[in-house]
Structure 1
Amino acid sequence: MQILFVHQNFPGQFKHLAPALAAKPEHTVVALTMRQIDSRQWQGVHIVRYTPKTGSQPGVHPWLRDFDTKVIRGEACFRAALQLREQGFQPDVIIAHPGWGESLFLKQVWPQARLGLYCEFYYLLQGGDIGFDPEFPTRDADGEACRVEMRNLNNAVHMPLADAAISPTHWQASTFPEPFRSRISVIHDGIDTELVAPDDSVALQLGELKLSRQDEVITFVNRNLEPCRGYHVFMRALPELLRRRPHARVLITGGDGVSYGAAPTNGQTWKQIYIDEAHAQHPDMDWSRVHFLGQIPYAQFVAMLQLSRVHLYLTYPFVLSWSLLEAMSAGCAIVASDTAPLREAIRHDETGVLVDFFDPAALAEATCQLLDDPARRARLGAAARVFARENYDLKQVCLPRQMAWVEALAAKPAGEGAATAPGWTPPPPAQTTAPAPRPAVAPAFKRY
């Protein structure tokens, strides 16, 4: 079977699925991506890059700008697909993350291919992230419904094209409208619960400071430190946490950019804005026990979770972070926001503790209660790990289900179009005098 993956930041959510399919000798697996990867092959997957020839031009209507960018990427991917077809590649199955518009026109190139979509999120006017936090009201309340409708245009165009779809959580799948919702299989990307497991011997070196399980460590993780993931609420709870826990070390992981929400309008970063707020309101706060780690290597990230006595995770009603499930797999005692995506994994006082997203005092109180109660921490952490292994384990649960989903997608009747080519061989590299490429390595991919 010939399989095409499409993801602007490949491997993205297909980090495990694509190599697993490529490992089977009966499959040829190709990936279309914008990401610069050193080699033309990664873990058995043939890498084909595409590059947009232009960007969104000035004068595009603000409501249309998001879709305009997606059409530009969709055209660039379409042109690369035409070249692949000319070389003889005829995929039986296309598996795409449609979020950036790349797969908009691929059925024009290969109408016979079955298209499976990774359905991450459908934007909602109510019940989602939009309008959830009154601290950040929309700049155009009257036009918000129109803007959201246009933002979902990419989803709306893709849905009739798809033969099947996959979503990582039931709540994320539930954001999509019927009848498309009924075509979505809920299968998580998977957590390596063997790798991310409790380790009482773990140690983490932070400069001259060495932390072990004997230290009282509180952890907080965002891909980027921003309000969408509750960074502002956490920072407002931090002074009380430090006051009540004089020996605690707080490890904060995340970058300075923006992953999902809007950037601050004053040119600062959300990280610095809430550091400054805490400084102004609590000038005597002991910052020496607060460690901003930035975006760290995965091995260090796992060690941090293994050290954690209490892990904090907050989010708007939005995509659920892998880091929450990895914290569960590591056996962390977790305090999380009582928001819709969390209720699927965190059952209050069973696999963690849920608190009001907007209540920093409740966040601090719940954290301190857990720090004072080793037996409860142990019970919650053990239950969290069991839940993670039973529902999100990569090797035993998620990857087998993903592979079965691909096989079912391939078995669907093909549409009208050219017959599948019997085989495809990637073209040889162009002759060049440049140095030989470095050995292929797995592309970096932020998991939190």
Structure 2
Amino acid sequence: MNILFIHQNFPGQYKHLAPLLASKGHQCVSLTLRVKEPTTWKGVKVLPYALPDRGVQNVHPWLLDLDSKVTRGQACFLAARKLRDNGFVPDLILAHPGWGEAMFLHDVWPDARIGLYCELYHRSGHPHLNFDPEFEQSDTELQPLRIRMKNINNHLHFPTATAGISPTSFQADTFPPEFRDKITVCHDGIDTKTASANPAVRLEIGDLDVTRDDEVITFVNRNLEPYRGYHVFMRALPRLLKERPNAKVLIVGGDEVSYGAQPPKGQTWKQIFIDEVRGRIATKDWDRVHFLGRIPYSKFVQLLQVSRVHVYLTYPFVLSWSLMEAMSCEAAIVASGTAPVREVIRDGETGRLVDFFDQEALVDRVCELLDDEEQRRALGRAARRLMIDDYDLQKTCLPRQLSWVDSVMRSEPPGPPRD
């Protein structure tokens, strides 16, 4: 059959599913902003489209998000229409709706089944909104109204979708009942062969050279920001470094913002919290803190393999792949006891949980694990077993994704576009 993938940063979450479907003889095509020229990637024909040049829009700030998504939706519509006019008719469209691209594809191909990747529906109640009082907006009564507007994109996609897929129950359960009933929970999958323990690992990055013989504490974000607890971790550092005079702290993450509020103009969250704690940390201790920025995946795996204790903190939000890859590497994990984390970390079984805001408990648990090799080993092995049993890419997740694709194709399409 003909399958069209829509993802602004293709392959994104379709990194494994798209090549697998192509290998089974399906004609797979992707429309994406990521490339400038047509190319082929692992059997998938990848076609570019571009956004139009537009002047500054004088619209309400709450509409800027929707304006951006409609712009992308229109551009993708024009590219899809060209595909249609050249004879391509997809039986199935697999799309991540988060950036708006798939908004009008049902108008181009009304008979195609559409499967949406349901990453998150923005909830306006606590703890989804105003979880962290330090970063609450000045007028909290306005925030639910802003969030309601942010969900317009979701509601424009729902009527066109045959079904959805979501990587965790927490994420699926954020969606309203009328669409939640159409969502299958299936994780993207963890490559447990690549992400596995390696007692002989050696991590070398610049002047850093560490092995399993070193006392290494790791902390990983895509970008260093409050949504992923960077501020909490940094505030725990002064005591942690005093308690562990031989520990080396390795921090991975960029300077940008993936989620949540922007820092004050001209600053980064990374530097803001460095500046906050630096005066309470002696230079000889600060020299044991290594900011590695963003690193290649092979180095990232080595970092998880060399970690003696891995710290993961997050708001109630999308669960990071990095946590589950750390579990697959048998890392001993101290994590925030927020809802998405509790889906995979069971306190005392697959890791240790602490309250997101409790810096003292965070340090206590990290030190406890650093002093208890037997507990670290037991937690790490149990964490890896969970990844192999329930989240393994080849054995569990890809077969479930294929089964979901089959079920979407057996379902009735939503019918002609509605005004």
Give the TM bin, normalised by the shorter chain: over 0.9
Q: 1:285 to 1:161 in 2, by over 3 A?
A: farther
Alignment correspondent of 1:435: none
- Paired with 2:85 and 2:201, the residues of 1 have a C-alpha distance of 53
Shift of 1:414: 4.4
Q: Secondary structure at the match of 1:243?
A: helix
Alignment correspondent of 1:340: 339
Shift of 1:139: 3.8
Contact 1:310 / 1:367 at 8 angstroms: preserved in 2? yes
Structure 1 runs not aligned, ≥5 long = 418-448
Shift of 1:413: 3.0
- Paired with 1:180 and 1:244, the residues of 2 have a C-alpha distance of 49
Q: Which moved more, 1:399-408 or 1:216-225?
A: 399-408
Shift of 1:161: 1.1
- Paired with 1:204 and 1:97, the residues of 2 have a C-alpha distance of 35
- Paired with 1:140 and 1:55, the residues of 2 have a C-alpha distance of 32
Equivalent residues in 2 for 1:113-192, closer than 5 Å: 113-192=112-191
Contact 2:224 / 2:255 at 8 angstroms: preserved in 1? yes
Contact 2:124 / 2:148 at 8 angstroms: preserved in 1? no
Shift of 1:283: 4.9
TM-score by length of 2: 0.97
Q: Secondary structure at the match of 2:31?
A: strand
- Paired with 1:15 and 1:348, the residues of 2 have a C-alpha distance of 31
- Paired with 2:254 and 2:138, the residues of 1 have a C-alpha distance of 26
Q: 1:80 to 1:294 in 2, by over 3 A?
A: same
TM-score by length of 1: 0.91
Amino acid of the structure 2 residue aligned with 1:306 = Q
Contact 1:239 / 1:285 at 8 angstroms: preserved in 2? no
- Paired with 1:37 and 1:297, the residues of 2 have a C-alpha distance of 23
Q: Secondary structure at the match of 1:41?
A: strand
Amino acid of the structure 2 residue aligned with 1:8 = Q
Q: Secondary structure at the match of 1:104?
A: helix
- Paired with 1:56 and 1:143, the residues of 2 have a C-alpha distance of 28
Alignment correspondent of 1:322: 321
Contact 1:56 / 1:68 at 8 angstroms: preserved in 2? no
Alignment correspondent of 2:237: 238
Amino acid of the structure 1 residue aligned with 2:12 = G
Shift of 1:146: 1.3
Q: 1:416 to 1:380 in 2, by over 3 A?
A: closer
Q: 1:38 to 1:327 in 2, by over 3 A?
A: farther
- Paired with 2:198 and 2:61, the residues of 1 have a C-alpha distance of 50
Alignment correspondent of 2:11: 11
- Paired with 2:41 and 2:84, the residues of 1 have a C-alpha distance of 21
Alignment correspondent of 2:412: 413
- Paired with 1:140 and 1:49, the residues of 2 have a C-alpha distance of 42
- Paired with 1:130 and 1:230, the residues of 2 have a C-alpha distance of 15
Q: Secondary structure at the match of 1:346?
A: coil
Alignment correspondent of 2:206: 207
Q: Secondary structure at the match of 1:140?
A: coil
Q: Secondary structure at the match of 2:407?
A: helix
Q: Per residue, is there more helix in 1 or in 2? A: 2
- Paired with 1:8 and 1:20, the residues of 2 have a C-alpha distance of 20
Alignment correspondent of 1:65: 64
Amino acid of the structure 2 residue aligned with 1:210 = D
CA RMSD in angstroms, aligned pairs only = 1.4
Amino acid of the structure 2 residue aligned with 1:19 = P
Contact 2:216 / 2:306 at 8 angstroms: preserved in 1? yes
Shift of 1:127: 3.8
Amino acid of the structure 1 residue aligned with 2:22 = A
- Paired with 2:38 and 2:95, the residues of 1 have a C-alpha distance of 21
Q: Secondary structure at the match of 2:176?
A: coil
Q: Which moved more, 1:180-189 or 1:282-291?
A: 282-291
Q: Secondary structure at the match of 1:135?
A: helix
- Paired with 1:209 and 1:2, the residues of 2 have a C-alpha distance of 49
Shift of 1:207: 2.7
- Specify which structure has the bigger relative contact order, considering alpha-carbon pairs within 8 angstroms and separated by 6 or more residues: 1
Equivalent pairs, count? 416
Contact 2:161 / 2:414 at 8 angstroms: preserved in 1? no
Equivalent residues in 2 for 1:26-425, closer than 5 Å: 27-36=26-35, 40-55=39-54, 57-284=56-283, 286-414=285-413
- Paired with 1:141 and 1:299, the residues of 2 have a C-alpha distance of 43
- Paired with 1:138 and 1:411, the residues of 2 have a C-alpha distance of 46
Contact 2:159 / 2:414 at 8 angstroms: preserved in 1? no
Alignment correspondent of 2:2: 2
Structure 2 runs not aligned, ≥5 long = none
Amino acid of the structure 2 residue aligned with 1:131 = N
Contact 2:31 / 2:47 at 8 angstroms: preserved in 1? yes
Shift of 1:142: 2.9
Alignment correspondent of 2:21: 21
Q: Percent identity?
A: 58
Q: Which moved more, 1:88-97 or 1:46-55?
A: 46-55
- Paired with 2:347 and 2:38, the residues of 1 have a C-alpha distance of 46
